[in-house]
Copies of this chain bind each other. A is one copy, B any other.
Amino acid sequence: MTAHDYWLAMSRGAKIVELDRAESLRLLAAKKVGRLAFVHDGAPTVMPMNFTLAGDRIVFRTLAHGSGARAVDNPVAFEVDDIDDFLEAGWSVVVNGTAELLTEEELNQLREHAPEPWAEGPRTLFIAIPMDQVSGRQLVPR
């Protein structure tokens, strides 16, 4: 048995369970920070963002001239997870969609759902991601 064969054989074998939409949204709603991914010059960019849920959309804020602003009108993925390094278990929910700028009217309707950025700086862009495409997976130890 070569080292190759040996390592190929090794796996902790935790089960991957697909989560339905309701469960995925429930998990998503319990978190405050997700990771925004978008494409810039053909390469992926990932950055954590604190967010809120408003209606059927994820909402977050970013700097008008920061790199996060590049997500607007582009396809994005927003990933939220909870991983237990000790149990080697966890879940991950990903929302795929197109990031859109909130209109002034939508912004005024946010009220208690408006996100307050944790990070300093004039984060004047309010960006939303529709939760049409939501997928969730859970890793259940054997």
Contacts and interface: CB of A to CB of B under 8 A. Distances in A.
A27 interface: no
A26 to B, nearest CB: 16
Interface in A106-121: 107-108, 110-111, 114, 116-121
A43 B10 CA distance: 32
A114 B10 CA distance: 10
A118 B88 contact: yes
Interface of A: 2-4, 7-8, 10-16, 31-33, 35, 37-39, 42-48, 50, 75-77, 79, 81, 83, 85, 88-90, 92, 94, 96, 104, 107-108, 110-111, 114, 116-124, 126, 139, 142
